[in-house]
A and B are shown apart, each in its own frame.
Chain A
Amino acid sequence: QVQLQESGPGLVKPSQTLSLTCTVSGGSISSGGYYWSWIRQHPGKGLEWIGYIYYSGSTYYNPSLKSRVTISVDTSKNQFSLKLSSVTAADTAVYYCARGAGTVDYWGQGTLVTVSS
């Protein structure tokens, strides 16, 4: 059973960089065959796909966030990470890491990140 767990600060100041890590257990990122995604959900709103990374390091980002997003992978730790720069209050959301892109079959529990001074 694949499990994903997000970790990182729950509070980030405006203009700073949001950094989250997703630790994968029960499956290996480096085995290939899957994209590893970050998805967010603004409070009381719908889902927004942020981007994905493949074990090889290839990435794809939502154009609406592309200028501020970096997703990286550390296969030795079976982790992948999200960095979102120059955050504003509009980036306050629950951030999920997940396996897959068009079809997401495993999700982390989600972590609320609040942008506030």
Chain B
Amino acid sequence: QSALTQPASVSGSPGQSITISCTGTSSDVGGYNYVSWYQQHPGKAPKLMIYEVSNRPSGVPDRFSGSKSGNTASLTISGLQAEDEADYYCSSYTSSSTLVVFGGGTKLTVL
């Protein structure tokens, strides 16, 4: 069981917007502004899409945005495109001895 809770799957049609949630506790998501989001295509390494809750690395389209409210972080993808179909993982620092925790991942299907 992962420390952070994500929905197993979400789906949307091209052009639509979707939001993936990542729920933790006050010891991780709620306690730090160090939430990251990663995109992983099958057979590939994860790719950083959002860091420190809402910052986009260079090269990541502005269709991807991140936010946080309390113990839940969210990744929103607007203007869905076929190439967005992938698994998405959140992570956070945690005050527990584990230091870094990941969500279980969300499979995004573009219909």
Contacts and interface: CB of A to CB of B under 8 A. Distances in A.
A49 interface: yes
A48 interface: yes
Contact of A104 (B2, B48, B101, B105): B48
Given A107-B46, A107-B47, A108-B45, A102 B100 contact: yes
Interface residues of B, number: 26
A63 B98 contact: yes
Interface in A38-90: 46-49, 60, 62-64
A46 B89 contact: yes
A60 B99 contact: yes
Q: Binding site of A, secondary structure by majority: helix, strand, loop or mixed? A: loop
B89 to A, nearest CB: 6
Interface residues of A, number: 18
B103 interface: yes
B102 A104 contact: no
B104 interface: yes
Nearest to B51: A103
Nearest to A94: B45
B38 to A, nearest CB: 7
A103 B34 contact: yes
Contacts of A62: 98-99
Interface of B: 2, 32, 34, 36, 38, 44-48, 51-52, 57, 89, 91-93, 97-105
The 3 A-B residue pairs with the shortest CB-CB distance, nearest first, are A107-B45, A102-B34, A103-B51
15 contacts: A46-B102, A47-B89, A49-B99, A49-B100, A60-B99, A62-B98, A96-B46, A102-B36, A102-B92, A103-B48, A103-B51, A105-B48, A105-B57, A107-B47, A109-B45
